[in-house]
Amino acid sequence: MSGRKPHHPHHLYRASRTPLPQSLPRSLTAAAVAATVLVLTATGCSPGSSSPSPSGSHRDSAERTGDSVAEATAASPFWVDPASDAARQVEQWEKEGRKDDAKALRRISERAVAEWPAWDNPAPDISRAVRGAAAGKRTVVFVAYNIPHRDCGRYSAGGASDAQAYRDWINDFAGAIGKAPAIVILEPDAVPHLADGCTPAEHHDERYELLSQAITRLKQQPGTRVYLDAGNPDWISDPAKLAEPLRRAGVNTADGFSLNVSNFQTNNAAKAYGTQLSGLLGDAHFTIDTSRNGQGPLPGDRDEAWCNPPGRALGTPPTTKTGNELVDAFLWIKRPGESDGPCRGGPAAGRWWPDYALGLARKTKG
């Protein structure tokens, strides 16, 4: 494999377009809540290398997160989990007298991160988040990541045991959301792995069918928006190679597609790529994962540039105020501070790594 797609490992434990829900107006402001959610990240056919980071002059000004934590949180319509790993770490460090570290980590703990429901039974995780978000009329961001033959049998191998098990899982997933306002990022990597040949050909037809059926089922929930994952600009460089696979997977009945999940591509790079892909899909809208792209990808063509790269920073805080009519939201899909895997001294994939989290927070301006 060419290995252009970075690895993003995940949690080891636990249809027409719909208008933006009432909790997602473009100009919404709301009170700050607290913290994040257990998230992991999808993975790739093979570990990838990142393209050089653009110079500061080319970086989107929105990536220089100069706004305060309170301002950024207030501008976001999304639910923040008050019992996240980051929130607990802040509390612990405050008790230990590490006031400066605790203050820095609030850049993570007080911002919304996607919820990755459990692979065996998604309903408890979803129900907890929906209940937590209800009081403040917030929107919860979920990731559905359980497709059969997931990740080509590599770092995040697994998924539902067969097609019917996946249909049942998606049905439970959708049912637990109910009428709550929600965004679902559907199956990171699943379509790009079809396009790059990593997923064996004998599984292609089934995957297309399951993704299309998943979109249809999720869109039965009145407040749910669905974005089918489309990888990142450094994986499949020609967006035309993704257009037909996305159509076959049902993107035209979703609310759009998602980009940059668990990756480090800049906002400008993702927007340029997304705009090209959108034009091939009837002006489809999209979302961008900005959780760790504040400094762009690791410079140089390095091995495992995707895996716990040093010197990275948090990106644009989660918001629907994107300044681009095609970009519905900047989201934190990957949970900042959770390891990409056992590289560069990190713990197992998906485990909380406070030192790395603190590094991301300290590199972030504002």
User: Which residues are tagged catalytic?
Assistant: 151, 189, 340
Q: Bridge partners of 142?
A: 115, 184
Residues 151 and 187: their CA atoms lie apart, in Å, by 10
In angstroms, the CA 359 to CA 58 distance is: 23
CB atoms within 10 A of CB 277: 27
Question: d(Cα 299, Cα 67) in Å, to the nearest integer?
Answer: 26
The DSSP bridge partners found for residue 139 are 78
- Token couple for 192: 């790009």
Largest CA distance in the chain: 57
Taking the C-alpha atoms of residue 265 and residue 292, their distance in angstroms, rounded to an integer, is 9
Best CA proximity match to 305, nearest among 55, 50, 53: 50
- Mutual angle of helices 163-177 and 123-134, in 10-degree steps: 20
Q: Which residues neighbour 188 within 8 Å (Cβ) at sequence distance 6 or greater?
A: 8, 41, 42, 143, 145, 229, 258, 261, 262, 333
- The crossing angle, in degrees rounded to 10, of helices 240-248 and 267-280 is 60
Residue 13 is given by DSSP the state -
